[in-house]
Amino acid sequence: MEILTLVALIAIGAYLLKSHDQRRRIALLARHLGNYQIEKLMENLTEGYLRCLGEDDPERRQQIWGVLDATEARLAAQFANFAAEFARVDAAQTRVSTSPLATLPYAHLLFPRETFDLRAAFAIHARGINEVMHNRAGRSPKDKAYTLSAELFLMQHTCHWFCKSKMVASARMLARHKTPYEQLIASVSEGTRRDYLALIGRQ
């Protein structure tokens, strides 16, 4: 009975420590994101893409693409500024665990070699979003929308990974956008995929 009580106390203590760390991470990210309209612009883009792809009138579709181009530019600029601002956060606060034991509290401190820097991840996402927005690869409007959506969703996945865990981030992506994590990686631009996989240790 004493062993069961000890196990229960350890489990409760681990849960409280993990919850405290998650609240700290959420507060840190929210404090910096609060200066921008990134989430709102993402919603506007997603809804706009769906509306445009469902439009049968070519002229009307072209008008919508023009409006969305402006929204994409605003979003890319805001995220670039956010990434530059977040780059000034102390490195000790921005480690993200890639360990299979990431569910343990403060896993990023227990296994420092199995981590990546969130600041570097945001820099990769900022470059990817900017590259696709400028359409240097010459994608069609539909392909550009698809690739930029993947860039944005992967960035969102990174945010959830930092705040909670990779497992939670992937589950949310599947529930919200019906998109598996591996499909996101396959759908972003080549540069983003290369740099992102290198960062998280999956070259």
| 13 in a structural domain | no
Q: How many domains does the chain have?
A: 1
What pLDDT score was predicted for residue 151? 97
Q: What is the DSSP string of 7-76?
A: HHHHHHHHHHHHHHHHHHHHHHHHHHHTTS-HHHHHHHHHHHHHHHHT---HHHHHHHHHHHHHHHHHHH
Report pLDDT for 54. Answer: 78
Report yes or no on 188 lying in a domain. Answer: yes
**Number of H-type helices and E-type strands within the chain:** 9, 2
In a domain, 60, yes or no: yes
pLDDT at position 203, please? 52
In terms of residue numbers, what domain contains 135?
Answer: 22-199
For the chain, residues with pLDDT lower than 50 are 14
pLDDT of amino acid 8: 55
Is there a domain that residue 10 lies in? no
pLDDT in tens, 59-85: 888 888 888 999 999 999 999 999 999
> Looking at the domain assignment, is residue 12 inside a domain?
no
Domain annotation covers residue 125: yes
The predicted pLDDT at position 19 comes to 66
Q: For residue 15, is it within any domain?
A: no
CA–CA separation, 52 and 90 (whole Å): 42
> What does the pLDDT read at residue 10?
53
What pLDDT does residue 6 have?
A: 53
Structure tokens at 3: 């062993």
* Residue found by looking up tokens 């199995």 in the block: 114
Residue 9 belongs to a domain: no
